[in-house]
Structure 1
Amino acid sequence: MAYFPLVMAGWLVHSISCFYLIRTIRHALIRTILTLAPCILLTHIGCQDLTKIHFFSILTVSLYWMMSIRLIHLTVLSPNKLMTFHSFVFQILWNIFPIVSSKSIENQWPIIVDFISVIMKVTVNHWLYEWLLSCEPNDSYARITMFYFALLTTSYMTDMQTGFIRLITRDEYTLEPFTNFPLFSRSLHDFWGRRYNRLVGTVLKESIFQPLNLYISSREIMTLITFIVSGLLHVHIVIVVFNDVSSALSTFAFFIVNGIACGIEAYMKIQLPQPLGSLVTHLFLLLTAPMCIGIYTREAAYFPVNVPPLYDNKWIPKFSIPSVCPK
């Protein structure tokens, strides 16, 4: 990660040039080239010394993509949007500091719940981690389900930060939650658009889906384009972090399939009642998940390398893991 500070300085310089210079260019093609080329170069340089199979490397690649998407949105797709340089840079770096007004969060719970959530999630996450670590790598549906729940509970560090920010700001500000109870998703659109990975989802919605509404009338096509971009991001992660070109096609196919399914949902206005909607949604996700998540659960080095935060702390309760492994 020796290049990271230098690359981030490069992103700052590029953001300044986009705001003060490139946005003023009237020719859309020139504006696109001048915005996109440095983004590609900075992303390429930043990915050269990433630690293989490490979760922080995944976050770093995602960060570069999110900043690129924001810059393309604000410089190419919406160059006439009135904003200050401060707000411009804040949107570019939003994924590093995803601070939002507490009033913008629906059904905001008391601050104490954030800290209770930390205790519950960290306990479950460490238990699942030990179980996954002790079992032979494979991409069975059972192991993928365990990995999915492990992903949902990794947000305990975010919950802790959220609790402290709400305390310090007297509940004026909070962090954008990583998830919004995805198990309650009534549909695929609800899962991807409102509940799972809110940090990436917010950027994709605000900087791809909504701006495209000015150029494309079909919501189904806009949805598919958004999933294509997300698929390309995950393909890049597979190649540069896992060094596994063979899994690139299946990873991309996962997002294409889900994008088409979301488009069909929207076109046919499918709205299943609960709990049937959640059941059908997660059955579909589980059936297609091996195409994308399988690379994580098959990789023998993934869990030894990615030790969860606070794993060695003695105050965290430890529970014995089952002797049976998912197959």
Structure 2
Amino acid sequence: MASSLFFLICWFACILICYYVIRPISNGFIRFVLTFFSCAFLSYITCQNLPQFHAVTILTVAVCWLMSMRLIAMTLFSRKTSLTFRSFLLKILWIYFPLVPKEKATNQWPIIFSIVLIVVKLLVNHWIYRWSIVCELGVNYARIFMFYLSIMTISYIFDTEMIVVRIFTRDKYTLESFTNFPIFSLSLQEFWGRRYNRIVHTVLKESVFEPIRVEFSSSTVGALATFIISGLLHVHVCLVAFDDSLSSFPTFIFFFLHGIACCLETTVKIKFPEHIRWIITQTFLLITSPLMLRPFIEKGSPFLMLNPPPLISAEWIPKLSVPDFCP
């Protein structure tokens, strides 16, 4: 607890220094170097001695990267705009509490429908967890699909928070959705840009893609840089959360391949029917997913045992029957 408070104070001090000391510096290279090394050092010490196989470790690494990207982008590229410290700070805090006006949000269903969807996701997520926990370790496409479905359905936690915000704000505000039915994606650009992990996407788009696109006048360079940085983030997760250096390169290659594929989608103007586009997109995701998901699936039971979904032990929640075979 004391160490967590210490790191929070350090990050807040870094935010103050970036805004009041580094941002006014006229030389852009110096601003970048000072901000980059400050964030890199803080991320390094924050991610030391974190418990392996814990979801909180993955979250901590991700938050450090997202805060660093925000700070670097705002310190480096926002100098010409009028930006108060309050706005500067709120941009950082948005990572923790991604509040958005409801009319600008995606995937906003009527509250009653959202509640029904939460119940369905909860039941399916618990069912997948109880099935996975009794199965042998191994990497195959069936287990990859189960893990993918588990990630998609764990969003019932975020959906619940969204409903609470909508009720308390009288449906004026909501939270940015975690996912927007990525299984319906008809392209990789749609998957990464509009449907999967909307919070991380927003930070990457505003802090990496847009500044680089403007700087180099190229969406291709911006997209590749975004996927490279996302790949490095996930490599850091492999090293810290799983102590798995062997999976670092495949994880990075996964994001690099997806970056190239997204750029090709932009340049290749061949129009396929929607069902063909869906098949191509989902097939590419399935074929390449072992590159990134292997650490999660190989670690299997230790990771699952240490990260049970919320309410998994609640007796009042109906439990779907677990098959007597393993995928």
Q: Above 0.5 in TM-score? A: yes
Aligned to 2:158: 158
Query: After the TM superposition, which residues 238-257 of structure 1 pair with which residues of structure 2 at under 5 Å, given as runs?
Result: 238-257=238-257
1:323 and 2:324 are equivalent in the alignment: yes
Query: Contact (CA 8 Å) 1:99, 1:176: kept in 2 or not?
Result: yes
Between the aligned partners of 1:132 and 1:68, the Cα distance in structure 2 is: 35
For structure 2, the residue ranges without an aligned partner over 5 or more in a row are: none
Q: TM-score, length-normalised on structure 1?
A: 0.97
Aligned to 2:307: 306
Taking a change above 3 Å as real, the CA distance of residues 313 and 107 of structure 1, as seen in their structure-2 partners, is closer
Deviation at 1:282, TM superposition (A): 0.9
Taking a change above 3 Å as real, the CA distance of residues 95 and 214 of structure 1, as seen in their structure-2 partners, is same
* Residue aligned with 1:21, SS: helix
Between the aligned partners of 1:74 and 1:270, the Cα distance in structure 2 is: 38
Aligned to 1:88: 88
Aligned to 1:173: 173
Q: Which amino acid aligns with 1:325?
A: C
Query: Contact (CA 8 Å) 2:106, 2:176: kept in 1 or not?
Result: no
Deviation at 1:90, TM superposition (A): 1.1
Taking a change above 3 Å as real, the CA distance of residues 14 and 308 of structure 1, as seen in their structure-2 partners, is same
Deviation at 1:211, TM superposition (A): 1.1
- Once the two structures are superposed, residues 157-209 of structure 1 have per-residue CA deviations (whole angstroms, 9 ceiling, x without a partner) of 11111111100000011000000111111100110111101111110011111
Between the aligned partners of 1:107 and 1:63, the Cα distance in structure 2 is: 23
Q: TM-score, length-normalised on structure 2?
A: 0.97
Aligned residues between the structures: 326
Query: Contact (CA 8 Å) 1:179, 1:197: kept in 2 or not?
Result: yes
Aligned to 2:18: 18
Query: Contact (CA 8 Å) 1:3, 1:49: kept in 2 or not?
Result: no
Structure 1's consecutive aligned runs of 4 or more residues displaced over 6 angstroms after TM superposition are: none
For structure 1, the residue ranges without an aligned partner over 5 or more in a row are: none
Between the aligned partners of 1:271 and 1:221, the Cα distance in structure 2 is: 24
Deviation at 1:106, TM superposition (A): 3.8
* Residue aligned with 2:247, SS: helix
Aligned to 1:112: 112
Aligned to 2:123: 123
Between the aligned partners of 2:240 and 2:190, the Cα distance in structure 1 is: 30
Deviation at 1:23, TM superposition (A): 0.8
* Residue aligned with 2:177, SS: coil
Q: Which amino acid aligns with 1:172?
A: K
Aligned to 1:67: 67
Query: Contact (CA 8 Å) 2:106, 2:177: kept in 1 or not?
Result: no
Query: Contact (CA 8 Å) 1:54, 1:302: kept in 2 or not?
Result: yes
